[in-house]
Amino acid sequence: MNIRLVIFSCALALLLTGCSRSPIDAKKSGKSVPVNSVNKDTTPLTDKDIFGNETTLSISEEDIQAALDGEGFRVPLNSAIILVQSGNRAPEMLMQQEMAKYYRISTFSGIPDRQKPISGNKLLKNEEREADVSENMNYMQALRYIAAKGNQKAIIVYWDALQTGIYDTATKSTRWSDYRNEKLNDTTSLRYLVRFALVDVATGEWATWSPVNYEYSILPAMTGKTAVTDQQITQLRQKTYATVVKDLVNRYQ
């Protein structure tokens, strides 16, 4: 037989049978997941999605001391990272632009697919449905796998919320609540709360960090009841993101 024909036949056989680069790849099959088995909601990422079930584990004093002995991890400048905004299909462009000043970023959805059993489905056994439900309960495990295949160093997840504050003269403190498009007056303050979780792809080590809250008063010229404009909110968000990202980089580089 012609040697070229033999080589061609072998190559064709490999293509038809496929190859696996990891155990996860080997699990993949051509079967599609029924649409109603995935609950695509818009709820934010929970701590369990990011950190797993560590809050329910039996943790000993030795475990705590071992964690204290860890050196932590760094995210050097120009590292390749995955950026995720909790509750959003993609991070806001303003945050992407700030992060891109320091890192090589890729983005991923901050809305995990919630698996649930298919009621009345006779094609799947109970054990198989339970396996589907528990397969990727920790969303961060899936993100680490995706980042590992993309040679990313770290995953940075952030949560943010716009809040309004009313100064209470009796307690001499500001009472904060989530902004709900309400009318504001010239004694009202605004702030963006931002919280970060950083996860090292290689080790799974993680750190959480909440920067200093930056508060901004409504301009004195705004008298009476008025609505906060989109431009004001955008400027506030941009200023906040620029400050907290710079702080984050200085802390972990």
Give me 60's structure tokens: 């000993």
91 within domain boundaries:
no
Give the CA distances from residue 249 to residues 76, 149, 177, 203, 243, in Å, rounded to whole numbers and listed in that order: 8, 24, 29, 20, 10
209 within domain boundaries:
yes
Looking at residue 116, its pLDDT comes to: 52
End-to-end CA separation in angstroms for the chain: 61
Looking at residue 76, its pLDDT comes to: 95
Closest among 26, 6, 152, 178 to 84, alpha carbons compared: 152
Quote the DSSP letter at residue 135: T
Q: Give the chain's residues under pLDDT 50.
A: 8, 11-20, 28-41, 117-118, 130-136, 219-223
166 within domain boundaries:
yes
Residue-number span of the structural domain to which 216 is assigned: 155-252
Give me 136's structure tokens: 């990727």
Taken in order 220, 223, 224, 226, the sign of the CA dihedral is negative
198 within domain boundaries:
yes
- For the chain, the domain total comes to 1
Looking at residue 107, its pLDDT comes to: 96
146 within domain boundaries:
no
248 within domain boundaries:
yes
Looking at residue 19, its pLDDT comes to: 42
Looking at residue 81, its pLDDT comes to: 97
Closest among 169, 134, 154 to 84, alpha carbons compared: 154
Looking at residue 62, its pLDDT comes to: 81
Looking at residue 143, its pLDDT comes to: 92
30 within domain boundaries:
no
57 within domain boundaries:
no
